[in-house]
Amino acid sequence: MTIDIKNPSFLLDGEEVPFTEGQTVMEAALTAGSYIPHLCFHPELQAHGSCRLCIVESDNRLHASCTLQANSRLKVSSQTQAINKMRKHIVQMLFVEGNHICPSCEFSGNCQLQAMAYELDMEEGHFHFRYPKREQDASHNDIFLDRDRCINCELCVRASRENDAKNVFSLGGRGTETHLCANSASGKLGDTSLDVSDKAANICPVGALLINDQSYVTPKEDRVYYQTSISLRGNRRPKEIE
């Protein structure tokens, strides 16, 4: 591969992807229209590579593409059978570690976890379902927190800290007991400063945070991932969370 200093690019699955200085592989790929699966990445937030769905291979090593800095020497593989198998197992584990009931969920069709399962041809959970007991929080007048759906992606945590400057959320616990916390003396969402207009209230990819008067407003056939696969949408997100 010839390195062009003025117009740098790297190879992604054999195709040249241009980038600008400071971009990660994920950012450059999405800008160029090349989709790399992800759940915890958001273009407006600092990446931290927690979900590991965006793993790619370069120099015989696996990297989180949302934190891997692009450079002209990179030769990156993303859409391989082995990598997609690992991604599928990650999605399967996310399903069995929570309580996801897609047919009755008001976020079905807008849910990125569900869309990712379709994208990766996930037909069953593979692992044993844990059916964890998770607390729901209906203390807020406008926003409902359903921890059964939470995948601990920390998008709301980062959005509240980086965009809203409120620090409403954090993660508590360890291992399988890790859970989303509301940062108030009572631990209740209703005692925080979270507002329906906050980025944190509208960024959840799985519907763990729901605006009360928006449930079931959009018919299922009009929801984004019923119309277009998540890979074709790229980094364009459902209207509710843009």
Q: Determine the Cα–Cα distance for residues 194 and 160; give it in Å rounded to an integer.
A: 8
- What single letter denotes the amino acid at residue 17? V
Residue 54 falls within a domain, yes or no?
Answer: yes
Looking at the structure of the chain, the number of domains it has is 2
Last residue of some domain: 79, 97, 124? 79
Q: Specify whether 17 is located in the same domain as 129.
A: no
pLDDT at 132: 86
Q: Determine the Cα–Cα distance for residues 42 and 114; give it in Å rounded to an integer.
A: 17
Q: Specify whether 112 is located in the same domain as 221.
A: yes
Q: Specify whether 69 is located in the same domain as 120.
A: no
Residue 217 falls within a domain, yes or no?
Answer: yes
Q: Specify whether 140 is located in the same domain as 38.
A: no
Asked whether the CA dihedral 139, 184, 162, 158 is positive or negative, the reply is negative
Average pLDDT over residues 57-73: 96
Residue 234 falls within a domain, yes or no?
Answer: no
- Would you place residue 239 in the very low, low, confident or very high pLDDT band (cuts 50, 70, 90)? very low
How big is the CA angle at 186 (ends 183 and 191), to the nearest 5 degrees? 65
Instruction: Give percent above pLDDT 70 in the chain.
Output: 94
Residue 94 falls within a domain, yes or no?
Answer: no
Q: Specify whether 51 is located in the same domain as 111.
A: no
Contact yes or no for 146/210 (Cβ under 8 A) = yes
Q: Specify whether 113 is located in the same domain as 70.
A: no
Residue 237 falls within a domain, yes or no?
Answer: no
User: End-to-end distance of the chain based on CA atoms, in angstroms?
Assistant: 37
Residue 95 falls within a domain, yes or no?
Answer: no
Task: Output 21 or 221, whichever has higher pLDDT.
Answer: 21
Q: Determine the Cα–Cα distance for residues 91 and 50; give it in Å rounded to an integer.
A: 13
Q: Specify whether 114 is located in the same domain as 193.
A: yes
Q: Specify whether 137 is located in the same domain as 73.
A: no
pTM assigned to the model: 0.90
Residue 188 falls within a domain, yes or no?
Answer: yes
Q: Specify whether 29 is located in the same domain as 72.
A: yes
Instruction: Give percent above pLDDT 90 in the chain.
Output: 76
Q: Determine the Cα–Cα distance for residues 207 and 224; give it in Å rounded to an integer.
A: 14
- What single letter denotes the amino acid at residue 54? C
What tens digit of pLDDT does each residue of 124-166 get? Answer: 878 888 888 899 999 999 999 999 999 999 999 999 999 999 9
Residue ranges in the chain assigned as alpha helix (H) = 25-31, 81-97, 112-119, 155-162, 224-227, 230-233
Query: At a CB cut-off of 8 Å and minimum separation 6, what does 51 contact?
Result: 38, 39, 40, 41, 90, 151, 153
User: What residue numbers bound the domain in which 134 lies?
Assistant: 107-227
Last residue of some domain: 29, 59, 79? 79
pLDDT at 4: 57
Q: What is the dihedral of CA 49, 134, 137, 125, to 10 degrees?
A: 60
Last residue of some domain: 59, 79, 99? 79
CATH number, position 193: 3.30.70.20
Per DSSP, the residues of 82-100 read HHHHHHHHHHHHHHHHTT-
Residue 48 falls within a domain, yes or no?
Answer: yes
Q: Determine the Cα–Cα distance for residues 148 and 74; give it in Å rounded to an integer.
A: 39
What tens digit of pLDDT does each residue of 181-214 get? Answer: 999 999 999 999 999 999 999 999 999 999 998 8
CATH number, position 54: 3.10.20.740
- Strands across the sheet with 143-146, in order? 136-137, 143-146, 209-211
